[in-house]
């Protein structure tokens, strides 16, 4: 079974530039999550999708971050414009979801973003 795929693995941009991350979850996983992990901290949930609907985006900085999950499969997370404090690893995860009663999450390798 293929795992969660993410690209790119690394990205370096200047502040005020824009960047986009892509995620392909495990096939059949209804729930998709985007996390921000700053060095030395645990992952912080940015947004959670159930199929193609947003379940929770309470911690997403909506003035600069956006995310979509068209067709309930792949997802993209965008930052525009980036700030220095956005430097972090962005993790995508998926889980089977509520209908299965299985809530453990499976993570991709992450995208390490450096904003200079």
Partner 1 sequence: AQSVAQPEDQVNVAEGNPLTVKCTYSVSGNPYLFWYVQYPNRGLQFLLKYITGDNLVKGSYGFEAEFNKSQTSFHLKKPSALVSDSALYFCAVRSYTGGFKTIFGAGTRLFVKA
Which spans of this chain sit near partner 1 (rule: CB under 8 A)? 4, 33, 40-45, 55-56, 91, 93, 98, 101, 103-110
CB of 70 to partner 1, least distance (A): 23
> Judged by CB, which is closer to partner 1: 3, or 14?
3
CB of 84 to partner 1, least distance (A): 22
Q: What are phi and psi of 20, to 5 degrees?
A: -135, 140
């Amino acid at each position: 079974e293929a795992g969660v795929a993410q690209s790119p693995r690394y990205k370096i941009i200047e502040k005020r530039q824009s960047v986009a991350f892509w995620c392909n979850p495990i096939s059949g996983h209804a729930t998709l999550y985007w996390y921000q992990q700053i060095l030395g901290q645990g992952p912080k949930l940015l947004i959670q999708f159930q199929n193609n609907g947003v379940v929770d985006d309470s911690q997403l900085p909506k003035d600069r971050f956006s995310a979509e999950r068209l067709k309930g499969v792949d997802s993209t997370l965008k930052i525009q414009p980036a700030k220095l404090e956005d430097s972090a690893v962005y993790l995508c995860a998926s889980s089977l979801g509520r209908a299965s009663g299985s809530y453990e999450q499976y993570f991709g390798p992450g995208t390490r973003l450096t904003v200079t």
